[in-house]
Copies of this chain bind each other. A is one copy, B any other.
Amino acid sequence: MSSLDILKKINAMAEFNRWCGIEVTSAEAGTAEIQMSWRPEVGQYSGYLHAGLIGTLIDTACGFAAVTVAGPNLLAAHFSVNCLRPAVGQKFIARARVVKPGKAQIFTHCDLYAVDAEAEKLVANGQTLLTVVVA
């Protein structure tokens, strides 16, 4: 099965990812891209994307990028998020990559873009440190 198909399968298994409407749109060895459309239910009080969902997209994309090099037995140990600009758009695209794979832990980075009409804008970035779970 291709990395993309594996990630689509994992994505479909997570109830919250389904509620969010997260779609896996691209995956290669060490990278993954996911997308989510705006709708009012994902907003905070000002109508921007809720910071919790900014974190969700970054953490999810980072985890998926890590799966492409290390398989699915991973848990996020730490993640951090920088909110660079108000996250406003019709759609959000998170692009993650593995910075350093390892036997015990995997370091990743993700950029989050808001898409409106034709333009993409970087609205947040973040980093996730994943631990390989020994069965």
Contacts and interface: CB of A to CB of B under 8 A. Distances in A.
Interface of A: 10, 13-17, 19, 40-45, 50-53, 55-57, 59-60, 63, 75-86, 99-100, 104-105, 107, 109, 122, 125, 127, 129, 131, 134
B82 A99 contact: yes
Nearest to A132: B104
A50 B80 CA distance: 15
A25 B127 CA distance: 28
A42 B15 CA distance: 7
Contact of A16 (B43, B79, B83, B107): B43
A53 B56 contact: yes
The quantity of this chain's copies bound in the complex is 4
A131 B26 CA distance: 31
B129 A78 contact: yes
Given A16-B44, A131-B104, A79 B80 contact: yes
